[in-house]
Amino acid sequence: MLIDNHGRTINYLRLAVTDRCNLRCFYCMPEEGIDWLSRSELMSYEEMLRACALLVKMGIEKIRITGGEPFVRKDIMPFLTDLSGLPGLREITLTTNGVLTAPLVPQLKKLGIRSVNLSLDTLDRERFFAITRRDELPAVLHTLDQLLLHQVQVKLNAVVMDGRNTADILPLAAMTRELPVDVRFIEEMPFNGDSHVYTRLAWDHVRILNTLRKEWPTLEKIPDGPFSTSANYRVPGHKGSIGIIAAYSRTFCGTCNRIRLTPQGQVKTCLYDNGVLNIKDLIRDGQSDTALESALLSAMGSRAKDGWEAEKNRANAPVHESMATIGG
> Where does this chain bind ligand SAM (CB under 6 A)?
21, 27-28, 66-67, 69, 95-97, 119, 157, 159, 186, 188-189, 191-192, 247, 323-324, 328
**Least distance from C-beta 318 to ligand SAM, angstroms?**
14
**Least distance from C-beta 27 to ligand SAM, angstroms?**
4
Amino acid type, 79: F
| Cβ(183)–Cβ(158) below 8 Å | yes
Kindly tell me which of 21 and 212 has the beta carbon lying closer to ligand SAM.
21
**Least distance from C-beta 125 to ligand SAM, angstroms?**
17
Edge-to-edge strands, sheet with 91-96: 220-221, 230-234, 241-245, 182-187, 153-160, 115-119, 91-96, 62-66, 12-16, 258-261, 266-268, 277-278
Instruction: Output the CA–CA distances (angstroms, integers) from residue 272 to 152, 182, 190, in the order listed.
Output: 30, 25, 10
Kindly tell me which of 2 and 132 has the beta carbon lying closer to ligand SAM.
132
Kindly tell me which of 4 and 188 has the beta carbon lying closer to ligand SAM.
188
CA neighbor of 202 nearest in space, from 235, 166, 251 = 166
Kindly tell me which of 162 and 289 has the beta carbon lying closer to ligand SAM.
162
CA neighbor of 61 nearest in space, from 223, 252, 259 = 259
Secondary structure class of 110 (helix, strand, coil): helix
**Least distance from C-beta 30 to ligand SAM, angstroms?**
12
Kindly tell me which of 122 and 192 has the beta carbon lying closer to ligand SAM.
192
Kindly tell me which of 122 and 241 has the beta carbon lying closer to ligand SAM.
122
Sequence length of the chain is 328
**Least distance from C-beta 188 to ligand SAM, angstroms?**
5
Which residue number has the CB closest to ligand SAM? Answer: 328
Helix intervals (H) in the chain: 45-58, 76-84, 105-110, 125-132, 137-149, 169-174, 205-215, 279-284, 289-300, 307-313
DSSP secondary structure letter of residue 237: T
**Least distance from C-beta 153 to ligand SAM, angstroms?**
15
